[in-house]
Amino acid sequence: EVDRLRRRVRNAIEDAKGHLRVFCRVRPLSEKELEMDEEVVVRMVDNMKIELPRNGVFTFDGVFAAGQQEEVFEECRDLVQSTVDGHNVTIFAYGQTGAGKTYTLHGTPQEEGIAGRAISELFQILKRFQQSSNAARSFVVSASMFELYRNRLVDLLRRPEKRAKSPPCSPPCSPKLSLRSSESGLQVDNLAEEEVEGAMQLKRLLSRGLAARSTAPNALNAESSRSHLLFTIKVTSTDGQNPLSGKLVLCDLGGSERLKKSEATGEQLKEAIEINRSLTALGDVIEAVAERKRQVPYRNHKLTQLLQDSLGGTSKTLMFVNCSPARCNLHETAMSLNYALRAKRVVNAVPSRKVWASR
């Protein structure tokens, strides 16, 4: 009973922080920007405010001026526990190409991002629970990963040897994935979902999916992501009587820059147009939810359908808006910050629900 009370108190603390929190991360100047002798124009006022010339001060739940990966993950750590406790958690990264979205979520082999650290934290929590709990509760962890490429869902966890040959720069061939509503929420039919037994196995699965993602060079990044990426970790448990299920969704959104800024042409131009169209639809949903409108246009795009339970639903959600500090990107930075402020106005409705005890 003491553990149950502790769990409820911890969940109440997370709810008090806000069901949708927005953080800003400003990367250092890139090598290209340093070579161009670009000026730093983004000023960190304090750990919650940044200032832009001619745009004023922007206030968020937290601001990281670059910052270490561990420091950023600390804002997410407790939400991994929420996933184990049966809640839906969504963490997504927004910003222009080259602003650090993928680095924030996925990091590098030497410096893990939120995803790798969340995986390690998840299995540490499960190990502690199984060692300390008297309840005979068993856990199953599974994962899926897909990208939304030009409004088409592409499974990234299909074994490479099972994929049909694809033209260069095309996403891998995949069975047709379709969206379907069910009692448990929106489902992606035909999506591969693999069970894992440990952190290293899940990290290898993540690396396999990232390697299959669609990328292409543009004026802002030599390896720009050309799609929205969703990596989902599901945790289900039961003690024989009370099944419980939670999920952690990590969403790496495509670059938000203007078409002129990316200098995209040909197929890359079509990709950029589709990314902008989907982000506009997401912005419309954010605005409708923030203003408590009766009709929210979730069905206007597959991206907004996929994120429906993250915005206005029952999910605990974190958004990281990633920015460049350079003067040459000032307009894109201001657009990203204004977009993030719209998201900050969203208040998710989270009903009370039964939770079980853990340490």
Give residue 283's pLDDT: 87
Give residue 151's pLDDT: 87
Task: Collapse the DSSP code of 103 into the 3-class scheme (helix H, G, I; strand E, B; otherwise coil) and give the result.
Answer: helix
Q: Please, which residues bridge with residue 231 across strands?
A: 145, 250
Q: What is the mean pLDDT of residues 221-241?
A: 78
Distance, in Å, from the CA atom of 99 to the CA atom of 64, rounded to the nearest integer, reads 13
102-111, 129-138, 167-176, 318-327: which has the minimum mean pLDDT? Answer: 167-176
Determine what percent of the chain is predicted with pLDDT higher than 70: 78
Give residue 342's pLDDT: 87
Inform me whether the pLDDT recorded for 357 exceeds 50: no
Give residue 2's pLDDT: 46
Determine what percent of the chain is predicted with pLDDT higher than 90: 49
Say which residue, 54 or 161, is predicted with more confidence: 54
pTM (2 decimals)?
A: 0.85
135, two tokens: 């309840």
Spatial CA neighbour of 235 closest among 184, 206, 182, 196: 196
Q: Could you give the angle at which helices 330-344 and 266-290 cross, rounded to 10 degrees?
A: 40
Inform me whether the pLDDT recorded for 25 exceeds 90: yes
> Residues 114-151, buried b or exposed e (16+ Cβ, 10 A)?
bbbbbbbbbbebbeebeeeeeeebebebbbbbbbbbbe
Q: What is the mean pLDDT of residues 307-328?
A: 86
> Residues 82-113, buried b or exposed e (16+ Cβ, 10 A)?
bbbbbbbbbbbbbbbbbbbbbbbbbbeeeebb
Which DSSP state fits 237? E
Give residue 119's pLDDT: 98
Inform me whether the pLDDT recorded for 40 exceeds 60: yes
Distance, in Å, from the CA atom of 238 to the CA atom of 97, rounded to the nearest integer, reads 42
In terms of phi and psi (left: phi > 0; alpha: psi -120 to 50; beta: otherwise), the region of 128 is: alpha
Spatial CA neighbour of 233 closest among 190, 208, 199, 210: 199
Inform me whether the pLDDT recorded for 268 exceeds 60: yes
Of all helices (H) and strands (E), which one includes residue 8? Answer: helix 2-17
18, two tokens: 């806000």
Distance, in Å, from the CA atom of 77 to the CA atom of 95, rounded to the nearest integer, reads 22
Confidence at 153, pLDDT banded by 50, 70, 90: very high
Give residue 221's pLDDT: 42
Distance, in Å, from the CA atom of 8 to the CA atom of 80, rounded to the nearest integer, reads 15
Inform me whether the pLDDT recorded for 75 exceeds 60: yes
* Digit-coded pLDDT (tens) for 155-199: 999 865 444 444 444 455 556 788 888 776 788 988 999 999 999
Which DSSP state fits 351? -
Mean pLDDT over the full length of the chain: 82
Give residue 216's pLDDT: 46
C-alpha torsion angle, residues 2, 121, 160, 230 (rounded to 10): 80
Say which residue, 290 or 146, is predicted with more confidence: 146
Is the torsion defined by CA of 78, 101, 47, 21 positive or negative? negative
Is the torsion defined by CA of 114, 235, 84, 306 positive or negative? positive
